Amino acid sequence: MQLEQQFILGQPPDATWPAFADVALLVGCLPGASLTGGETDGQWPMRFDVRLGPVAASFTGQGRLVREDATRSGRFEGQASDRRTGSRVKGSAAFTLAAHESGTRVIVQVDYALTGALAQVGRAGIVRELAGALTAQFAANLEARLGKRAATVATDPATAPGAQAEVAIPTAADTPVPLAGGALLWQALRRWLAGILSPSRKSR
């Protein structure tokens, strides 16, 4: 399945682009996601916890980040599996940054395949709405981190991007907070049904 999402950040591209080299920062902004160790041969061990009502899943796997500084674009690809439900996911997220007024427009194109028990709830319309809600949360978290980083750098240049890690890599003993997918799924269902039942669509 292919999805496209985009959002606007308040910081200009020159200030935003370095954050897209900080895997720990990006993962820390995604609800339910966490790193389980450091980078090895370009691969980052990751975990994604999600709970949908009584159903809980913990995907573990690896991801790789590739960037193109000249075009301010890149690609994150990886795969993970959940032993409890026997589900597997494999995909990639290509991103591009462009100037937008005084900020930055981020366009993300996701291509993924989900198999196993959780694939049974993956209706296209619902998944798109859920992805939109998740993207909005990620963008809000990233905006907050970038604002905090900019304020810190303004008072202490030694904390500029590359000087120190923004997010500490968790240890195996750390327990990540799972994505509360129930509330997001309910919101997604309401928007999906509203779109289907809207007068404009009925009149077609």
Lowest-confidence range among 1-5, 51-55, 93-97?
A: 51-55
> What is the homologous superfamily of the domain 2-198 according to CATH?
START domain (3.30.530.20)
Highest mean pLDDT among 54-58, 76-80, 126-130: 76-80
Asked if the model's pLDDT at residue 60 lies above 60, the reply is yes
Question: Taking all residues of the chain, what is their mean pLDDT, rounded to a whole number?
Answer: 79
State pLDDT tens for residues 164-182: 444 343 433 344 454 555 4
User: What pLDDT does residue 90 have?
Assistant: 94
Mean pLDDT of 76-103: 94
Mean pLDDT of 192-202: 54
Q: Do residues 84 and 111 lie in contact, with contact meaning Cβ atoms separated by under 8 Å?
A: no
Q: Which contacts of 85-93 are long-range, i.e. CB under 8 A and separated by 24 or more positions?
A: 85/55, 85/57, 85/116, 85/117, 85/118, 86/116, 86/117, 87/57, 87/59, 87/114, 87/115, 87/116, 87/117, 87/118, 87/119, 88/114, 88/115, 88/116, 89/59, 89/61, 89/113, 89/114, 89/115
Residue 171 has, within 13 A of its CA and on its CB side, a CA count of: 1
